[in-house]
Amino acid sequence: MLPARCAGCGTERTQLCPACRHALAAARPGPTLLPWAHAAAPYADPVRQLLLAHKERGALRLADPLGEALGRAVRSALGPRAGSAPLLLVPMPSARAAVRARGHDPTLRLAGAAARALRRAGLDARAEPLLRHARPVVDQAGLGAAERRRNLHGALTVLPRARRGLAGRQPVLVDDLVTTGASLAEAARALADAGLPARAAATVAATVHRTG
- Summarize as ranges the residues that interact with Zn ion (CB under 5 A): 6, 8-9, 11, 17, 20
CB of 41 to Zn ion, least distance (A): 14
CB of 10 to Zn ion, least distance (A): 7
Supply the DSSP string of 46-74, one letter for each residue.
Answer: THHHHHHHHHHS--GGGHHHHHHHHHHHH
Please tell me the distance from the alpha carbon of residue 104 to that of residue 100, in angstroms, as a whole number: 7
- CA–centroid distance for 17 within its chain: 23
Q: With H, G, I as helix, E, B as strand and everything else as coil, classify residue 135.
A: coil
Nearer to Zn ion, 42 or 112 (CB): 42
Q: Is 96 exposed, middle or buried (0-12, 13-18, 19+ CB in 10 A)?
A: exposed
Question: What is the side-by-side order of every strand in the sheet holding 87-91?
Answer: 30-31, 37-42, 200-206, 170-178, 87-91, 125-127
DSSP letter assigned to residue 12: B
Contacts of 172 (CB under 8 A, 6+ apart): 74, 77, 78, 87, 88, 89, 90, 198, 200, 201, 202
Nearer to Zn ion, 61 or 150 (CB): 61
Nearer to Zn ion, 15 or 203 (CB): 15
Nearer to Zn ion, 8 or 65 (CB): 8
CB of 20 to Zn ion, least distance (A): 3
Nearer to Zn ion, 8 or 71 (CB): 8
Q: What is the CA radius of gyration of the chain?
A: 17
Nearer to Zn ion, 30 or 65 (CB): 65
